[in-house]
Amino acid sequence: MRGTFIRTLEKMAKADKNIFLLTADLGYKLFDNFRDNYPDRFVNVGVAESNMIGVAAGLALSGKNVYCYSMVPFLTMRTFEQIRVDLCYHNLGVKLVGVGGGLVYGLEGMTHQAIEDISIMRSLPNMTVTAPGDPAEVECLIEESVRYKGPLYIRLGKDRDPVVHETAPDFKIGRGIVLKRGKKAVLFAAGNVLPAAKAAVEALEENGLSITLVSMHTIKPIDKKLVIECARRTKAVFTVEEHSLIGGLGSAVAEIIAESGEKVIFRRIALPDAYSKYMGSSGYLRKKYGLTPQAIANRITKELKKK
Amino acid sequence: MGKDDIKKLEETAKKIRRSIVETLSSAKAGHTGGSLSVTDILTVLYFKEMKIDPSRPDWEDRDRFVLSKGHASCGLYCALVERGYFAKDLLSTFDRTDGCLQGHPDMHKTPGVDMSTGSLGQGLSVGAGMAAGARLLKKSFRVFVVLGDGEVQEGQVWEAAMYAGHNKLDNLTAIIDYNKLQLASRVQDAIDLEPLADKFRAFKWNVIGADGHSIESLCKAFEKARKNKGRPSVIIADTVKGKGISFAENKVEWHVRVPKGDEIAKALDELK
pLDDT confidence band for A306 (50 / 70 / 90)? confident
At a CB cut-off of 8 Å and minimum separation 6, what does B211 contact?
B217, B218, B237, B238
List chain A domain ranges.
2-155, 177-306
Same fold, A2-155 and A177-306: yes
Q: How far is CA A269 from the centre of its chain?
A: 16
Q: How far is CA A273 from the centre of its chain?
A: 18
Q: Is there a cis peptide before residue A272, judged by omega within 30 degrees of 0?
A: no
Q: What is the pLDDT of residue A6?
A: 97
* pLDDT over threshold 90, residue A160: no
Measured N-to-C along each axis, helices A194-206 and A293-305 cross at an angle, to the nearest 10 degrees, of 50
> Of B29, B53, B79, B42, which is closest to residue B175 (Cα–Cα)?
B42
Please state, in angstroms and rounded to a whole number, the distance separating the CA atoms of residues B160 and B127: 9
Helix (H) or strand (E) holding B157: helix B155-166
Q: What is the mean pLDDT of residues A46-61?
A: 96
Nearest to A107 among B103, B121, B150 (CB): B103
Residues in chain B: 272
Residues of A at the B interface, defined by Cβ within 8 angstroms:
23, 25-29, 31, 44-51, 73-74, 78, 105, 107-112, 278-281, 284
pLDDT confidence band for B233 (50 / 70 / 90)? very high
Amino acid making up residue A261: G
Q: Which CATH architecture has domain A177-306?
A: 3-Layer(aba) Sandwich (3.40)
Please state, in angstroms and rounded to a whole number, the distance separating the CA atoms of residues B251 and B254: 6
8 Å CB contact between B70 and A105: no
Q: Among residues of chain B, what percentage have pLDDT more than 90?
A: 100
pLDDT digits (tens, 9 = 90+) for B37-96: 999 999 999 999 999 999 999 999 999 999 999 999 999 999 999 999 999 999 999 999
pTM (2 d.p.):
0.94
β-strands A177-180, B143-148 pairing: unpaired
Q: What is the mean pLDDT of residues A181-191?
A: 97
Chain B neighbors of A289, CB-CB under 8 A? none
Name which of B120, B124, B176, B252 to mutate to probe chain A: the one with the most chain A Cβ atoms within 10 A of its Cβ: B120
> Of A235, A145, A138, which is closest to residue A194 (Cα–Cα)?
A138
Nearest to A107 among B95, B153, B155 (CB): B95
Q: What is the mean pLDDT of residues A21-41?
A: 94
Q: What is the mean pLDDT of residues B23-29?
A: 97
> Of A127, A218, A209, which is closest to residue A172 (Cα–Cα)?
A218
* A287, closest residue in chain B (CA to CA): B97
pLDDT confidence band for B1 (50 / 70 / 90)? confident
What is the ipTM, given to two decimal places? 0.90
Please state, in angstroms and rounded to a whole number, the distance separating the CA atoms of residues B166 and B189: 31
Helix (H) or strand (E) holding A56: helix A49-61
Q: What is the mean pLDDT of residues B3-19?
A: 97
Amino acid making up residue A271: L
> Of B34, B37, B43, which is closest to residue B9 (Cα–Cα)?
B43
pLDDT digits (tens, 9 = 90+) for B145-156: 999 999 999 999
pLDDT digits (tens, 9 = 90+) for B171-201: 999 999 999 999 999 999 999 999 999 999 9
* pLDDT over threshold 90, residue B239: yes
Half-sphere exposure of A21 (CA within 13 A, CB side): 30
pLDDT digits (tens, 9 = 90+) for A104-121: 999 999 999 999 999 999
Please state, in angstroms and rounded to a whole number, the distance separating the CA atoms of residues B114 and B133: 14
Topology (CATH level 3) of domain A2-155: Rossmann fold (3.40.50)
Sheet of A185-190: strand order equals: A177-180, A211-215, A185-190, A236-244, A265-271
pLDDT confidence band for A194 (50 / 70 / 90)? very high
* pLDDT over threshold 90, residue A84: yes
> What integer best gives the mean pLDDT of chain B?
97
User: What's the maximum distance between 2 C-alpha atoms anywhere in chain B?
Assistant: 54
Chain A neighbors of B98, CB-CB under 8 A? 278-280, 284
At a CB cut-off of 8 Å and minimum separation 6, what does A282 contact?
A102, A103, A104, A105, A106
* pLDDT over threshold 90, residue A41: yes
Please state, in angstroms and rounded to a whole number, the distance separating the CA atoms of residues A58 and B95: 40
Distance from CA of B99 to the nearest CA of A (A): 6
> Of A281, A100, A109, A78, which is closest to residue B70 (Cα–Cα)?
A109
Nearest to A44 among B116, B121, B185 (CB): B185
> What integer best gives the mean pLDDT of chain A?
96
Cβ–Cβ gap A109/B256 under 8 Å: no
Distance from CA of B86 to the nearest CA of A (A): 18
β-strands A218-220, A65-71 pairing: unpaired
Enter the DSSP assignment of A226.
Answer: H
Cβ–Cβ gap A110/B116 under 8 Å: yes
8 Å CB contact between A191 and A241: yes
B154 and chain A: CB distance < 8 Å anywhere?
A: yes
β-strands A177-180, A211-215 pairing: antiparallel
SS3 content of chain B, % helix, strand, coil (to 5): 45, 10, 40
Cβ–Cβ gap A279/B99 under 8 Å: yes
pLDDT digits (tens, 9 = 90+) for B243-265: 999 999 999 999 999 999 999 99
Amino acid making up residue B55: S
Residues in chain A: 307
Amino acid making up residue A272: P
At a CB cut-off of 8 Å and minimum separation 6, what does A254 contact?
A239, A266, A268
Chain A neighbors of B119, CB-CB under 8 A? 73-74, 78, 111-112
pLDDT confidence band for A159 (50 / 70 / 90)? confident
Q: Which CATH architecture has domain B3-270?
A: 3-Layer(aba) Sandwich (3.40)
Q: What is the pLDDT of residue B62?
A: 98
pLDDT digits (tens, 9 = 90+) for A213-222: 999 999 999 9
pLDDT digits (tens, 9 = 90+) for A124-150: 999 999 999 999 999 999 999 999 999
Nearest to B190 among A31, A44, A111 (CB): A44
Beta-strand (E) ranges in chain B?
64-67, 143-148, 172-178, 206-211, 233-238
* pLDDT over threshold 80, residue A276: yes
* Cα-trace Rg, chain A: 19
